[in-house]
Amino acid sequence: MAWDEWDRLKADAAARGGPEHMRIDQIAPDPGGGSATSAVTQGLKSTQAAWNKAGERVGGLREGVGEALTKLSDGQNGLGDQAGCLTAGAQTDLYDSWARYVKSVGEKCGDVKGVLEQVGHDLLLTDEGVNAAFGNIDLKYADTPAVGGDGAGR
């Protein structure tokens, strides 16, 4: 851009009345002189602290899930040899299934915590970007079909 063009743009901006008339991302300034409100933001304010707090809370859920997994594991102590005992074998299979599930829930909490904290850190992600991040988590942790069908019509 040539300097004369830059000087012209600055002069035009000054003639419009200065920074109080500046529009960012096409959001019109509030006529009352306060903060900008538009159909886009509808007065919603977002802070890094709010996003980080949400991330911390989800992280706290992960800790609780980890404790549940430990208790589930502790409950397996003393099960003994499963040979010849169908109930013990079935109980072990059930434990293995639940242990995988609970571990997956904990990992999902960690992934959600990461997205929330990233949004809080950047405050630059678009709604589409945030939705895509959560969509990826949904795909990664999609539940498997229920054994024996979905029970519809029962």
- Helix (H) or strand (E) holding 139, with range, is helix 127-140
Instruction: Decide: 59 and 109 in contact? Cβ < 8 Å.
Output: yes
* Choice among 7-11, 13-17, 36-40 with the minimum mean pLDDT: 36-40
Q: Is 120 left (phi over 0), alpha (psi -120 to 50) or beta?
A: alpha
Bridge partners for 97 per DSSP:
none
Per-residue model confidence (pLDDT) at position 140: 92
Residue 111, pLDDT > 90, answer: yes
Instruction: Decide: 134 and 126 in contact? Cβ < 8 Å.
Output: no
Write the CB contacts of 95 (distance below 8 Å, at least 6 apart in sequence): 72, 75, 76
Direct distance between the N- and C-terminal alpha carbons of the chain, in angstroms, rounded to an integer: 71
pLDDT in tens, 49-103: 888 888 889 888 888 888 888 888 888 777 666 667 777 778 888 888 888 888 8
Give ∠ CA 38-39-45 in degrees, rounded to 5. 60
HSE at residue 45, side-chain half, CA atoms within 13 A, is 4
> Is 31 strand, coil or helix?
coil
Q: How far apart are CA 59 and CA 107, in angstroms?
A: 10
